[in-house]
Each structure stands twice: as structure tokens, then as C-alpha cells.
């Protein structure tokens, strides 16, 4: 990719990485002058290109076109799978009519489709990046070159080298005054925003413990059987990206990042280390065929903050077990339900003491119906920032959250205590050639002679996840 190397800068400390964004912007002034700034505000239609036409891409586009009073139009779509741009455009057209103008010649298929889709835009328009996160830095870099505003899905990164690369790219985006939203929608849940303010104001007293759970049956592409005929190894792994660490960070990063994110937000800090356990109980399907994905089906992580506060996270994808999908914060004055259900389900509540009994509730969120959808809220905020030409960039938070999530995943996969600096400065890049992939490329993950993919081996592979 022009202007970006797959190599990464030297060791970065947690302190320097988590420091001030002002320093990042100042260090990038030369890049800003070279790029020029996106034009302030929009007095005409804002064009949108969709890169990654799966369910999340379609959902993000629907939210974009639903921003109240906005004049937005989808004009291009791209994916690596034939038929996906057509299906997405047709489905969105049924709902939004003239707000969709994507003729066949602006529906692109291929690994270079992102370029063609962005080439349909003007500086200051918006590109939606909803491909598997392995491709995020590649696509973000081109968006910055084109001086486009961006909405990108989480995770933002899946390993240390790509995190450092995204940090360097984002310096250029901040300096160019590009507006960038990241799909960590919990932070746009208005009930959680009020809870976070109350926690920071001391209503729970001193925070002692945070805990979160995402435990349910297998979902999405959590597990995969051997590749069938009629599809290449590369395309199979992209299609089932949750099953492969290079593409998505596996189910741990993709499934669990929201709860990790909003609990760190409640704390107002980021953990400095993690220790974890994980296991894989069921390796065969009911038909007796072995699953080949890289995921563990159970994870338990203990995160530690600099002040000693603990954050516990439990994840599980096993049929027939108790479903627990919520999060909590405990302080010296009481306990809070952060997410009542799911990644950020309303209402949030505060209780006196350490029990969540109804008679101990002292506050519960009350969010107007029009503000209850955090997916819509994040788009409303992004478009408002573009219209007002106000600073708006959520990428640094997205990188930090992705790193903290990866820190817990790596601790489970290696059986070692992993620090924030360990994951940030790690040298294991899962897919170093991702920017050069074509339909004829070998997959970044190769099976061994026995036909099995590498899997985590805690205690045996101590410095690599596979």
C-alpha cells in the first residue's frame, strides 16, 4: 500500500501510547500539510461507500441513511464475495429508495474493490469499513489518502504490529481533521453514559471490582468444519472469519470486545496486565467430524488495573449451558448493573449494597425511546461532527480496547501473564501480507500435514498464540 510499510516502529511503552492525543496531532503536522484537510461541513449530499457488504455493513448503512435530517446517499459498494454487493444494495434500496444510487458499475468485487469504491467519493465523504478486522489498516490507510471520513467496525486490530500501524495511520487522520467513528456502540448508549458519569462522580464509592459475562451457545462462525469443495482456503477463512485468529482475533476478540470496552470505560482506565484460562471441550460435530477452527470454547480472564482493581471476564460458547450475558461494577457504596442484557442492554441501574435486589435500587436509567438505539446514536454523533466540522476521532479508543481484548486472549492462549506492553510491542503479526492478497494467494493460515490448523497450546507455546 502506498506510503505504508508492513514493518512497525520500535518498542512503544504503555505510558507513551496511552498519553495525550495532542502530542499525536502535533507530531503529525507535516502529514496534515501534505494531505490537506477535508472540506469543513457539507452543504450538499454526503456520499457513502460501503466496503464489506455483510450483515454489519448493511446495518451500518441503514443507520447512516436513517440519521434525522441528513442528506446522505449510498453510491458504491465493495466486497470480495460475488453477489454480496448486489444483495446489500438491493436490500437497502427497498427501504431507502433514492438515497441509494449504486448502479452495477459501482458494485465492486475483489481484493482491490475497496479502492474502486472509495474512488467514487469526494474528500469529506464517508466510507464504511465493515470487513474482517485483518483488513482494517489497509483500508483505513487508503481512506486517509483519499481524505475521507470513516466509520469502521470493531475490533480495530487483532495484534501488536497492526495496532502500532493503526496508531501511525491515525496520527495522519487526526492531523487532517478527518472524522472517524468506531463501532463500540456501548459508548453511545445514553443510559450507560449517565451511569459512567455517576460512577466517575463517586456514587459507587471506590471501585473495587468489575465483572462481565458473555456465555451462550455457539454463534456466527464461532466454529468451522473442514473446508468444503468449491472454495479456496483463503476465501473459506475470510468467509468464516470468526474461526481464524488472523482474520478477526477469533471469537474472543470479536464477541467479547464490547463488554471489555464498556467496563474499562466505567473504570476510566485500561488494565496493565491479564492472566487467563481457557479450554476446548468439544472438538467433534454430531456427525463425528472434527471442528478445525482456532477458538477455545471457554475463557476466563482476570484483568488488573494499575491501582490493583480487578476486572473479571468469563466467556463461553457451549450448547446447553446457562446463558449469562451482562456486566456489573462493584464499589464501596454499592453495585451497578452496567449492561442489563447483551453487549449494552438497557436499563443500567445502581443499588445500595452488593445485591441487585429491587428494593435496593437507588437509580435506573430512563432513556427516551428515540435515543435508545446505540447503533443509531453513534451515527447521529458522527454526522453531527461532520456537519459542524468538529473534532471527532474514536480510533485511539478503538485501538486501546482492541489491545486490551487481545491481551486477555493471548493470556488464555499462552498460559502466561501478559502485560499491556507485551501485547502492544509483540512481534507476532498474524497476517503480514494481507495488503497483497489476491484471489490466487495462499491463506495466511496453513494446515499441517495432518490437515489441522495450528491451535493455541498454553504452556507449550508461550510467546505465540499458535
pLDDT digits (tens, 9 = 90+) for 45-73: 999 999 999 999 999 999 999 999 999 99
Distance CA 183, CA 382 (A): 11
pLDDT band per the 50, 70, 90 thresholds, residue 14: very low
- What value does the mean pLDDT of the chain take? 92
Mean pLDDT of the region 226-246: 97
Among 381, 344, 342, 334, smallest CA distance to 365 is for: 344
Exposed/middle/buried for residue 87 (C-beta within 10 Å: 0-12, 13-18, 19+): middle
Domains defined along the chain, listed by start: 14-186+375-393 (3.40.50.720), 190-371+404-436 (3.30.360.10)
Has residue 332 got a pLDDT over 50? yes
> What is 250-267 written as a DSSP string?
HHHHHHHHHHHHHHHHHH
Asked whether the beta carbons of 176 and 143 are under 8 A apart, the reply is: no
Backbone angles phi and psi of 343, in degrees to 5: -70, -35
Has residue 369 got a pLDDT over 70? yes
Give 232's Cβ-side CA count (13 Å radius): 14
Mean pLDDT of the region 186-192: 98
Q: How far is CA 460 from the centre of its chain?
A: 29
Tell me what percent of the residues of the chain surpass a pLDDT of 90: 88
What does the pLDDT read at residue 197? 98
What does the pLDDT read at residue 44? 83
Has residue 27 got a pLDDT over 60? no
Has residue 42 got a pLDDT over 90? no
Catalogue the E-assigned strands of 125-204. Answer: 126-129, 149-152, 180-182
User: How far apart, in Å, are the Cα atoms of 261 and each of 154, 256, 308, 346?
Assistant: 11, 9, 18, 16
- What grid cell was written down for 453? 490448523
Number of neighbours of residue 434 by Cβ within 10 angstroms = 22
Element (H, E) at 328: strand 324-331
pLDDT in tens, 121-154: 999 999 999 999 999 999 999 999 999 999 999 9
Distance CA 212, CA 329 (A): 9
pLDDT band per the 50, 70, 90 thresholds, residue 283: confident
Q: Which of 23-37, 325-339, 437-451 is least confident?
A: 23-37
What does the pLDDT read at residue 43? 56
User: How far apart, in Å, are the Cα atoms of 6 and each of 222, 375, 430?
Assistant: 29, 33, 12
pLDDT band per the 50, 70, 90 thresholds, residue 452: confident
More confident residue, 3 or 394: 394
Distance CA 283, CA 384 (A): 48
What does the pLDDT read at residue 286? 84
Has residue 79 got a pLDDT over 60? yes
Mean pLDDT of the region 99-117: 98
Asked whether the beta carbons of 159 and 430 are under 8 A apart, the reply is: yes
pLDDT band per the 50, 70, 90 thresholds, residue 448: confident
Mean pLDDT of the region 217-227: 95
Has residue 404 got a pLDDT over 90? yes
Tell me what percent of the residues of the chain surpass a pLDDT of 70: 91
DSSP 8-state symbol, 96: H
- In DSSP terms, 100 is beta-bridged to 74
Which residues fall within 8 angstroms of residue 360, CB to CB, at 6 or more apart? 334, 351, 352, 353
* Cis check: omega of the bond before 155, within 30 degrees of 0: yes
- 52 dihedral zone (left: phi>0; alpha: psi -120 to 50; beta): left
More confident residue, 107 or 42: 107
User: How far apart, in Å, are the Cα atoms of 362 and each of 348, 359, 409?
Assistant: 11, 8, 36
pLDDT in tens, 151-168: 999 999 999 999 999 999
What does the pLDDT read at residue 12? 46
Q: Which of 149-158, 263-272, 284-293 is least confident?
A: 284-293
- In DSSP terms, 230 is beta-bridged to none
Amino acid at each position: 500500500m502506498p506510503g505504508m510499510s508492513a514493518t512497525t516502529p520500535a518498542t512503544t511503552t504503555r505510558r507513551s501510547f496511552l498519553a495525550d492525543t495532542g502530542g499525536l496531532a502535533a507530531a503529525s503536522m507535516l502529514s496534515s500539510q501534505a494531505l490537506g484537510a477535508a472540506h469543513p461541513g457539507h452543504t450538499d449530499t454526503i456520499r457513502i461507500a460501503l466496503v464489506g457488504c455483510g450483515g454489519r455493513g448493511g446495518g451500518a448503512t441503514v443507520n447512516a441513511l436513517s440519521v434525522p435530517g441528513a442528506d446522505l446517499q449510498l453510491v458504491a459498494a465493495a466486497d470480495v464475495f460475488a453477489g454480496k454487493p448486489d444483495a446489500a444494495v438491493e436490500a437497502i434500496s427497498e427501504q431507502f429508495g433514492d438515497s441509494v444510487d449504486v448502479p452495477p458499475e459501482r458494485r465492486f468485487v475483489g481484493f482491490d474493490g475497496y479502492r474502486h469504491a472509495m474512488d467514487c467519493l469526494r474528500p469529506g465523504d464517508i466510507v464504511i469499513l465493515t470487513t474482517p478486522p485483518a483488513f482494517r489498516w489497509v483500508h483505513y490507510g487508503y481512506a486517509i489518502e483519499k481524505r475521507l471520513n470513516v466509520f469502521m467496525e470493531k475490533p480495530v486490530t487483532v495484534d501488536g504490529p497492526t495496532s502500532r500501524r493503526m496508531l501511525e495511520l491515525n496520527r495522519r487522520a487526526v492531523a487532517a481533521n478527518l472524522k472517524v467513528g468506531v463501532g463500540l456502540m456501548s459508548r453511545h448508549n445514553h443510559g450507560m453514559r449517565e451511569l459512567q458519569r455517576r460512577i466517575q462522580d463517586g456514587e459507587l464509592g471506590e471501585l473495587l471490582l468489575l465483572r462481565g459475562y458473555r456465555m451462550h451457545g455457539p454463534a456466527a462462525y464461532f466454529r468451522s468444519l473442514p473446508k468444503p469443495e468449491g472454495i479456496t482456503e483463503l476465501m473459506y477463512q475470510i468467509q468464516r472469519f470468526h474461526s481464524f485468529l488472523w482474520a478477526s482475533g477469533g471469537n474472543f476478540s470479536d464477541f467479547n470486545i464490547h463488554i471489555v470496552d464498556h467496563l474499562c470505560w466505567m473504570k476510566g482506565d485500561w488494565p496493565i496486565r491479564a492472566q487467563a484460562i481457557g479450554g476446548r471441550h468439544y472438538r467433534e460435530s454430531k456427525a463425528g467430524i472434527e471442528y478445525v477452527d482456532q477458538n477455545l470454547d471457554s475463557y476466563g480472564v482476570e484483568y488488573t488495573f494499575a491501582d490493583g482493581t480487578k476486572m473479571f471476564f468469563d466467556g463461553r460458547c457451549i450448547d446447553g449451558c446457562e446463558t449469562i450475558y451482562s456486566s456489573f461494577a462493584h464499589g464501596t457504596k454499592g453495585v451497578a448493573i452496567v449492561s442489563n442484557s447483551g453487549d449494552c442492554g438497557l436499563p443500567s441501574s445502581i443499588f445500595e449494597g452488593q445485591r441487585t435486589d429491587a428494593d435496593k435500587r437507588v437509580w435506573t436509567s430512563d432513556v427516551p425511546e428515540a435515543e435508545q438505539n446505540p447503533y443509531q446514536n453513534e451515527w447521529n454523533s458522527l454526522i453531527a461532527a461532520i456537519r459542524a466540522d468538529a473534532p471527532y476521532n474514536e480510533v485511539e479508543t478503538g485501538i486501546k480496547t482492541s489491545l486490551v481484548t487481545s491481551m486477555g486472549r493471548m493470556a488464555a492462549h499462552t498460559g502466561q501473564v501478559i502485560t499491556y506492553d507485551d501485547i502492544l510491542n509483540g512481534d507476532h503479526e498474524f497476517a503480514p501480507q494481507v495488503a497483497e492478497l489476491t484471489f490466487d494467494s495462499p491463506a495466511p493460515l496453513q494446515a499441517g500435514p495432518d490437515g489441522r490448523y495450528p491451535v493455541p497450546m498454553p504452556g507449550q507455546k508461550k510467546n505465540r498464540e499458535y
